[in-house]
Chain A
Amino acid sequence: MAIETILIINKSGGLIYQRNFSESFASKLNSNDFLIIASTIHSVFAITSQITPKALQITQNNVDYVIPYIPMVGMESSNPQQTRNANVPVKLGSYKGPDFFKEPFISWNKSGLRQLSTDQFTMYIYQTMTGLKFVALSSNVLSTNAGTMNGSIDKTKAVNVASQVADNFLRKIYCLYGDYVMKDPFYSMEMPIKSELFDKAVKRMVNNLL
Chain B
Amino acid sequence: MSRQQSINSSQTPTPTTAQSPLSRSLKATGEEVWKRTEKINAELFTLTYGAIVSQLCTDYGRDFVKINEQLYQMGYSIGVRLIEDFLARTALPRCQGMQETSEALSKCAFKVFLNITPRVTNWSSGKDAFSLIIDDNPLSDFVELPMDAMEQLWYSNVLCGVLKGALEMVQLDCDVFFVSDILRGDQQTELRVKLNKILKDEIPIGED
A contact residues vs B (CB 8 Å cutoff):
11, 45-46, 48-49, 60, 93-96, 100-103, 105-106, 108-113, 127-132, 171, 174-175, 177-179, 182-183, 189
Take A110-B208, A129-B94, A171-B88 as given contacts and tell me if A95 and B83 are in contact as well, using a CB distance cutoff of 8 Å.
no
Does chain A have a CB within 8 A of B62? no
> Cα distance A112–B208 when bound, in Å?
9
Residue pair B91, A183 in contact (C-beta under 8 Å): no
- Least Cβ–Cβ distance between B122 and chain A, in angstroms: 27
Main secondary structure on chain A at its contact with chain B?
Answer: loop
Residues on the B chain within 8 Å of A46, using CB: 205-206
Contacts A95-B36, A96-B37 given; does A112 touch B205 at CB 8 Å:
yes
A130 touches B206 (CB 8 A): no
Chain A residue contacts of B69, Cβ below 8 A: none
Q: A106-B93, A175-B88 are in contact. Are A111 and B81 (CB under 8 A)?
A: no
On whether the beta carbons of A132 and B202 are closer than 8 Å, the reply is no
Assess whether B84 is in contact with A94, with CB atoms less than 8 Å apart. no
* 22 contacting pairs across A/B (C-beta < 8 A): A11-B202, A94-B1, A96-B38, A101-B36, A101-B91, A105-B91, A106-B93, A108-B206, A111-B208, A128-B87, A128-B88, A129-B87, A129-B207, A130-B84, A130-B170, A175-B88, A177-B84, A177-B88, A178-B86, A178-B87, A178-B89, A189-B81
Within 8 A of A (CB), among B66-102: 80-89, 91, 93-94
A3 to B82, CA, bound (A): 28
A49, B88: Cβ atoms under 8 Å? no
What residues of chain A lie closer than 8 Å to B206, measured between beta carbons? Answer: 45-46, 48-49, 108-113, 127
Cβ of B208: which chain A residues have Cβ within 8 Å of it?
49, 60, 110-111
| Cα-based distance from A22 to B86 in the complex (angstroms) | 32
Point out which of A48, A103, A105, A177 has the most chain B C-beta atoms below 10 A from its C-beta: A103
Residues of chain B lying within 8 A (CB to CB) of residue A96: 35-38
Residues of A within 8 A of B82 (CB): 182
Please name the residue on chain B nearest to A133 by beta carbon: B204
Report the minimum CB–CB distance from B45 to chain A (whole Å): 14
Q: Residue on A with the closest CB to B204?
A: A131
Measured between alpha carbons, how far is A105 from B91 in the docked complex, in Å? Answer: 6
Sorted nearest first, the 10 A-B pairs with minimum C-beta distance are A112-B206, A178-B85, A105-B91, A131-B204, A182-B81, A178-B88, A175-B88, A174-B88, A46-B205, A106-B93
In the bound complex, what is the Cα–Cα distance between A45 and B206 (angstroms)? 8
**How far apart are the CA atoms of A129 and B80 in the complex, in Å?**
13
Q: Which residue of A lies closest to B206 (CB)?
A: A112
| A106 to B85 Cα, complex, angstroms | 17
Residue in contact with A45 in the complex, picked from B86, B202, B205, CB distance below 8 Å: B205
* Alpha-carbon separation in the docked complex, A11 to B199 (Å): 14
